[in-house]
Amino acid sequence: MKLIYLHPLPIRIWHWVNAAGFIVLILTGANIRGIVNLFSVETAVEIHSWLGFILLANYCIWLFYYLLTLKIKIYIPPLHHPIEFAKKALRQAKFYGLGIMVGEQNPHHSTPDNKFNPMQQVSYLMIMALLIPVQIITGLFLWDPKLFAPIVNPIGIQIFDMIHILLWIFFSAFMIVHFYLATLGHTPLAHIIAMFTGYEEEHEEHGHEEHSH
């Protein structure tokens, strides 16, 4: 068994602040729409707005860390090898859909420079480069539509409201899938503990991609 340092400290801080913040944002968002009734709507709006700004600052930790270290590369799918990439993505999907139930090993082998399997790469890139920024921007518009009137008025606040709600649905579903996948390490807590300590345990049988079939 070998320990690999996979998650640098700024990313661990970003990740857990983000995760806790998302849970409360999802709940207070539902509270604002009357789906749950944890607080008064005014209190829910207050918490939701403050947390929105905290997660905006937190997003900057993620962004600056990955841009300044140039490690953002780990998020970019190798689209200059599209066939190979598609094959690996398919193999990963097969592993999650079938292989894992019959005791096969994960075909992806994480290293600091090649941390994500193809499915993670595509979904994490979409979330971090597109969906979170869109959620932040539409959130800012809803927080103070007057301040952003030159952009909001010609399009209509309802459009931004709808996008914000559709992404609320997406993120709620993502959390469930992401949590399930996070429990698929060599023990159910292995990946989750690694996201706290930074170190992932590599077991021999998790070996190299070529030998996994």
Q: Interface with ligand HEM by CB under 6 A: which residues?
A: 7, 11, 15, 18-19, 22, 115, 120, 124, 127-128, 171, 175, 178-179, 182, 191-192, 195
Q: How far is CA 143 from CA 51, 161, 213, in A?
A: 12, 11, 52
In whole angstroms, how close is the CB of 140 to ligand HEM at the nearest point? 17
Which CA distances in Å does 57 have to 45, 93, 114, 141?
19, 34, 27, 17
Please answer whether residues 154 and 163 qualify as being in contact, where contact means their C-beta atoms are separated by less than 8 angstroms. no
Residue number with CB closer to ligand HEM (148 or 170): 170
Q: Is the dihedral of CA 30, 34, 40, 42 positive or negative?
A: positive
Token pair of 62 as six digits? 């993620």
For residue 174, give both structure tokens.
């993502």
Least distance to ligand HEM from the beta carbon of 148, Å? 24
Please, what is the minimum distance in Å from the beta carbon of residue 156 to ligand HEM? Answer: 27
Residue with smaller CB distance to ligand HEM, 62 or 160 = 62
- 152 or 206: CB nearest ligand HEM: 206
Cβ proximity to ligand HEM: between 157 and 186 the closer is 186
What is the nearest approach in angstroms of ligand HEM to the Cβ of residue 3? Answer: 15
Collapsed DSSP state (helix, strand, coil) of residue 34: coil
Q: CB of 134: closest distance to ligand HEM in angstroms?
A: 12
Which residue number, 99 or 152, has a Cβ lying nearer to ligand HEM? 99
Tokens of 4: 């690999």
